[in-house]
Structure 1
Amino acid sequence: MRSTLKNTPFKSLAMGSALALTTGFFSATTQAAEIATDPGDYTPLPAGVNLGILYGQYATRDTVYADGDKVPVDAGLNTIIGLARFVHYMDIGGVIVDPQIIVPFGKVELEEPFGPLQPTSESGVGDPIIGATAWVLNNPDDQQWVGLSAFASVPVGQYDDDKGPVNIGENRWKGIFQAAYVKHLSNSVVLDLIAEYSVYGDNDDFLGFKREQEDAQSLQGHLRYLLSKQSHVALSYYHSFGGETTVGGQDQDDRVNTNRWLATYATFVDPTVQLQVQAGQDINVENGFEEDTRVNFRVLKVF
Structure 2
Amino acid sequence: MSQQAFAIAETVHPRDYIPAPAGVNLSVTYFDHRSGDDVYADGDKVAKNGDLEANAVIERLIHFTELFGMPADPQIIIPVVDLDVGIQGQDSSGLGDIFIGSTFWPVADQQNREWFGLTPFVYLPTGEYDDNQAVNVGANRYSFVLQSGYVKGLTDNLYLDIVGEVQWYGDNDDFLGSNTLSKDEAYRLSAMLSYDLSPASYVWGRYAKQIGGEESLNGITLANSEMDTDTASIGYTRWLGKSLQVQAEYTRDLSVDNGIAVDGATLRLVVPF
* Bin of the TM-score, shorter chain as denominator length: over 0.9
1:51 equivalent in alignment to 2:26 = yes
Percent of paired sites with the same residue:
35
Mapping 1:43-82, distance limit 5 Å: 43-72=18-47, 74-82=49-57
Deviations 1:148-199 (A, max 9, x none): 00010011222111123x2111110010010111000000000010000000
1:157 equivalent in alignment to 2:117 = no
Question: CA, structure 1 residues 231+140, in 2 after alignment: closer, same or farther (shift >3 Å)?
Answer: same
Cα RMSD of the aligned pairs, angstroms, is 1.7
Distance in 2 between residues matched to 1:258 and 1:84, nearest whole Å = 26
Amino acid paired to 1:180: G
Distance in 1 between residues matched to 2:137 and 2:108, nearest whole Å = 37
Distance in 2 between residues matched to 1:249 and 1:196, nearest whole Å = 26
Q: Report the CA distance between 1:73 and its aligned residue.
A: 5.3
2:174 corresponds to: 205
Secondary structure of the residue aligned to 1:299 is: strand
1:240 corresponds to: 210
Q: 2:9, 2:77 within 8 Å by CA — same for their partners in 1? A: no
1:280 corresponds to: 251
Alignment partner for residue 216 of structure 1, among 180, 186, 211?
186
Q: Report the CA distance between 1:127 and its aligned residue.
A: 1.1
Deviations 1:2-31 (A, max 9, x none): xxxxxxxxxxxxxxxxxxxxxxxx47x939
Deviations 1:130-158 (A, max 9, x none): 01000010100100000000010011222
2:93 corresponds to: 123
Q: Report the CA distance between 1:122 and its aligned residue.
A: 1.3
Q: Report the CA distance between 1:92 and its aligned residue.
A: 2.4
TM-score of the aligned structures, taking structure 1 as reference length? 0.85
Amino acid paired to 1:53: V
Q: Report the CA distance between 1:32 and its aligned residue.
A: 8.8
Mapping 1:254-269, distance limit 5 Å: 254-269=225-240
Q: Report the CA distance between 1:252 and its aligned residue.
A: 1.4
Q: Report the CA distance between 1:72 and its aligned residue.
A: 3.3
Secondary structure of the residue aligned to 2:106 is: strand
Q: 1:31, 1:243 within 8 Å by CA — same for their partners in 2? A: no
Distance in 1 between residues matched to 2:9 and 2:55, nearest whole Å = 16
1:290 equivalent in alignment to 2:261 = yes
Gaps in structure 2 of 5+ consecutive residues: none
Instruction: Report the more deviating stretch, 92-101 or 136-145.
Output: 92-101
2:143 corresponds to: 174
Amino acid paired to 1:91: E
Deviations 1:247-280 (A, max 9, x none): 2332113110000000010101121210110012
Deviations 1:96-134 (A, max 9, x none): 01000001112000111x6xxx5x111100111001000
Question: CA, structure 1 residues 91+51, in 2 after alignment: closer, same or farther (shift >3 Å)?
Answer: same
Structure with more strand by fraction? 2
1:184 corresponds to: 153
Deviations 1:61-82 (A, max 9, x none): 1001111111035322110012
The number of residues matched between the two structures is 270
Q: 1:34, 1:198 within 8 Å by CA — same for their partners in 2? A: no
Q: Report the CA distance between 1:281 and its aligned residue.
A: 0.5
Distance in 2 between residues matched to 1:65 and 1:149, nearest whole Å = 32
Q: Runs ≥4 in structure 1, deviation > 6 angstroms? A: 31-34
TM-score of the aligned structures, taking structure 2 as reference length? 0.95
Q: 1:191, 1:221 within 8 Å by CA — same for their partners in 2? A: yes
Distance in 1 between residues matched to 2:250 and 2:36, nearest whole Å = 14
Instruction: Report the more deviating stretch, 131-140 or 240-249.
Output: 240-249
Distance in 2 between residues matched to 1:232 and 1:59, nearest whole Å = 24
Name which one, 1 or 2, has greater alpha-carbon Rg. 1
Amino acid paired to 1:211: L
Amino acid paired to 2:94: G
1:252 equivalent in alignment to 2:222 = yes
Secondary structure of the residue aligned to 1:278 is: strand
Question: CA, structure 1 residues 155+149, in 2 after alignment: closer, same or farther (shift >3 Å)?
Answer: same
Mapping 1:124-143, distance limit 5 Å: 124-143=94-113
Amino acid paired to 1:261: A
Amino acid paired to 1:146: F
Distance in 1 between residues matched to 2:171 and 2:228, nearest whole Å = 22
